[in-house]
Amino acid sequence: MIKVFRAANITEAHIVKGMLEANGIDAYVDGFYLQGGIGELSAMDFSSVSVDDENELKAREIIADYEITSPSCDEDQDGLD
């Protein structure tokens, strides 16, 4: 298993996992249970997505497309200045 994506949160990790599985790649969310140990702190940067070694290149290509097309938090979502 190799980590191919570090998610901002558990929701993003599951989105990427679903994308990979839709493209025929078995994927696993790591760090799911770690967020329960942090109490009231924000559950950030604990989740990642892993795939089998032989699927690494294809998974990284799919993730690269996702990162290019997903809106950035820094961008203005409604297009207004």
Q: In what order do the strands lie in the sheet with 27-30?
A: 2-6, 48-51, 27-30
pLDDT tens for the chain, residues 1 to 81: 999 999 988 889 999 999 999 999 999 998 866 655 555 555 556 789 999 999 999 999 999 999 998 765 444 444 444
CA distances from 70 to 19, 23, 41 (A): 13, 18, 26
pTM, to two decimals = 0.73
pLDDT at 64: 96
Domains of the chain: 2-69 (3.30.70.1530)
pLDDT at 77: 45
pLDDT at 71: 67
